[in-house]
Amino acid sequence: MLESATTEHERTEEVLEIYKLLVEMADRVSQRRQSANSFYLTVNTAIIGATAYVARDTDGANTWAISLAGVAICILWIRAVLSYKSLNSAKFKVITELEGRLPVAAFKDEWEFLQGANGKRHTPFHKTEVLVPFVFISVHSAQFASTLPWQAIWEAGKLALC
């Protein structure tokens, strides 16, 4: 009897150590995610500044190129946010499943509390986080559009209709 209790205690200790490791790994992914967001935010801010600087001295082609690069960076940013989201979702699924073998299920309980009775108590971070690149896409697009030769486009459109 004592031998099986010790073995069960040892298994619980092993599960607890794996649990601690998984929680630490999930935290590291979140830290990398924040670093990536800071990187993309910095790059986009620099691109907007560069576009504004270049736009005052050139005919627009450089502005178009830089703005399009900004949009491409934003698309990569969105993909990174979604990738980190799926990675963390998988980690938290494993963590909550592992909690079934422990006396306390802190992550599962926390998530149930955040969901509330109607499931609307908490908005996941990625839903807000993914909006930031779209704001930058709008700014890059506006900078791109501001350098288009609108008068020439209007005139060409009128000629095409005649």
Q: Tell me how far CA of residue 22 lies from CA of 66, 82, 86, 90, in angstroms.
A: 41, 20, 15, 11
At 5 the pLDDT is 56
Contact between residue 115 and residue 122 where contact means Cβ atoms under 8 Å apart: yes
Please name which of 25, 38, 28, 30 lies closest in space to residue 84, comparing C-alpha atoms. Answer: 30
Contact between residue 95 and residue 30 where contact means Cβ atoms under 8 Å apart: no
At 110 the pLDDT is 85
Confidence band of 10 (pLDDT split at 50, 70, 90):
confident
pTM score, whole prediction: 0.79
25-44 pLDDT, tens digit each: 999 999 999 999 999 999 99
At 11 the pLDDT is 84
| 89-110: average pLDDT | 89
Per-residue pLDDT for 2 more than 60? no
Confidence band of 4 (pLDDT split at 50, 70, 90):
low
